[in-house]
Homo-oligomer: A and B are copies of this chain.
Amino acid sequence: MGVESAFEIIAEPNRRAILSLLASSQRSVGEIERQLRMPQPTVSKHLRVLREAGFVECSVDAQRRLYRLRPKPLQEVDAWLAPFRRFWSAHVDALERHLDQMDQSTRTKRKTRRTR
């Protein structure tokens, strides 16, 4: 059963939609159903997957169940991204150097003309 990685869980668009919705505040199943316009069994099934993977938890309020976010799984995704962020900044730096160089040659060609 469900020992799936967080990545497989958030691969499903409807589940991402549910998570984004819960990011603002907790909701009942019915609210999710209406706001996302998806059939109720679909919502329940995705919530079950999310619950078993630790993305959400729920509390009982009479007949309703209120679902809310739990932090850990998405933090794991965030942690996996960390090494790549260093790569991005390197890339930006390279791009800036490149643009600087273009700017230099522009200045050289056009002499003193400056745009802005």
Contact = CB atoms under 8 A, between A and B. Distances in A.
Interface in A16-71: 16, 19-20, 23, 69, 71
A23 B87 contact: yes
The number of chain A residues touching the other chain, given as a range, is 20 to 34
Copy tally for this chain in the complex stands at: 2
Interface in A59-116: 69, 71, 74-75, 77-78, 80-81, 83-85, 87-88, 91
Nearest to A85: B78
A3 to B, nearest CB: 12
B84 A81 contact: no
A11 interface: yes
A71 B83 contact: no
A96 to B, nearest CB: 14
Contacts of A83: 20, 23
Interface of A: 5, 7-8, 10-11, 13, 16, 19-20, 23, 69, 71, 74-75, 77-78, 80-81, 83-85, 87-88, 91
